[in-house]
Structure 1
């Protein structure tokens, strides 16, 4: 039985904390989707306007804004950011920490 007051410190990645395979990929997708949602919010775009800009239907816009990201890969999220007028810079570097797996990060 788990004690109600029991707490565990987060790793900083909820997907890793939940033992989901490839947690850094899921976190990166969530961060990219968050960026898209922030831009949509800042520009005060409706679902219809967002759908037109991104070339998707309103149901997909709703899924994206609700965090249902199964139908979206990183390439598609990158394309959405480009369609919203943002540049994307990807940096690849050697993995140096042997105590953890290589990761994907959105900065």
Structure 2
């Protein structure tokens, strides 16, 4: 018999492991994922992306490896704009209506 315990995650691994500011970490990770996807689809080298983003290549490398603490959500959104993307912030009532808290997401 298998006695392995498991639990269903919340959808935010940063919250699941107890990090403070988990929502912000998740948003940053989602934005970096988008940046990485765009770079790969365009076959952009890190040095070329760095020039477009106004940062140094080692900073791009660290960001893509998950070390993005030095970048704010706003700066990551500006990176997406520099890569030719429209970034739209939408504010709407939480679903279900009357929920105690809304949520942040990147799509």
How far residue 55 of structure 1 moved from its aligned partner, in angstroms, is 0.8
Aligned equivalent of 2:106? 106
Query: Any idea what the Cα deviations from partners look like across 1:70-106, whole Å, max 9, x if unmatched?
Result: 11111100110000000011011234312xx332211
The alignment covers a number of residue pairs equal to 102
Where in structure 2 are the equivalents of 1:85-100 lying within 5 Å? Answer: 85-95=84-94, 96-98=98-100
1:24-58 Cα deviation digits (max 9, x unpaired): 21111100000000000000011111111111001
Matches within 5 A, 1:48-87: 48-87=47-86
Larger mean Cα displacement after TM superposition, 41-50 or 14-23: 14-23
Larger displacement relative to structure 2 (11-20 or 34-43):
11-20
How far apart, CA to CA, are the structure 2 residues paired with 1:25 and 1:94? 20
TM-score, with structure 1 as normaliser: 0.88
Describe the SS at the equivalent of 2:70.
Answer: coil
Which residue number corresponds to residue 32 of structure 1?
31
The CA distance in 2 between the partners of 1:86 and 1:61, in whole Å, is 18
Distance (Å, rounded) in 1 between the aligned partners of 2:19 and 2:7:
17
What stretches of structure 1 move > 6 A for 4+ residues in a row?
A: none
Segments of 5+ residues of structure 2 without an aligned counterpart are none
